[in-house]
Chains A and B, each alone.
Chain A
Amino acid sequence: DIQMTQSPSSLSASVGDRVTITCRTSQTISNYLNWYQQKPGKAPKLLIYAAFNLQGGVPSRFSGGGSGTAFTLTISSLQPEDSGTYYCQHSYNPPHTFGQGTRIEIK
């Protein structure tokens, strides 16, 4: 099975800051990497698919990058509504494991 290592596990940043989350995989997965946002008590929401493709309706301040075994999710200018937990997930081959999550707090 492919192992996912997501970092940091949590961060606190101010409105307007640029924030980057990293996800590393134990083997190469091409660009089969997805990012989700989850708010408390809600279902996860797809943000980025196939490493860098923005899901419809997602603000353009979110962007994804990377390939192979190292990937990033960047929020270019953090907004108050961006608080929550962010997960990466690979869809290269089953099981489609999730990362451990990154909790973002707004200062």
Chain B
Amino acid sequence: EVQLEQSGAQVKKPGESLKISCKTSGYSFTSSWIAWVRQMPGGGLEWMGMIFPGDSNIIFSPSFQGQVTMSADRSLTTAYLQWDSLKASDSAIYFCARQATRGDLDFWGQGTLVTVSS
């Protein structure tokens, strides 16, 4: 059974760093892209980018290039999303999802709520 389990909710102050995780199981981690999707409070879904754990190839949406870092640990079958200096506008729910070879996102994590407030 394919599963994506995300790390728990985080409350941070502006300027702090953060790394959230997406632990996968039930499929070949190195054979599928993992996408990250942001949902701001009361807002829609925004595609941030994706990482291919097989070779760590990363493709960002221009809107998120330079704002976050994506990485993957093949030994832990876990993908990560990281910020060096959080802003209040980073407050959102972040989802990871597996991208099927067809391009759709067929399995999703439960989401990680990030709150950035002074």
Contacts and interface: CB of A to CB of B under 8 A. Distances in A.
Interface residues of B, number: 26
B53 interface: no
Interface residues of A, number: 26
A43 B106 contact: no
Contacts of A101: 44-45
Interface in B73-118: 95, 97, 99-100, 102-106, 108-111
B47 interface: yes
Which secondary structure dominates chain A's binding surface?
A: loop
Contacts of B35: 96
Contact of A96 (B47, B95, B108, B109): B47
A87 B61 contact: no
Contacts of B41: none
5 contacts: A34-B103, A50-B103, A89-B104, A96-B50, A101-B44
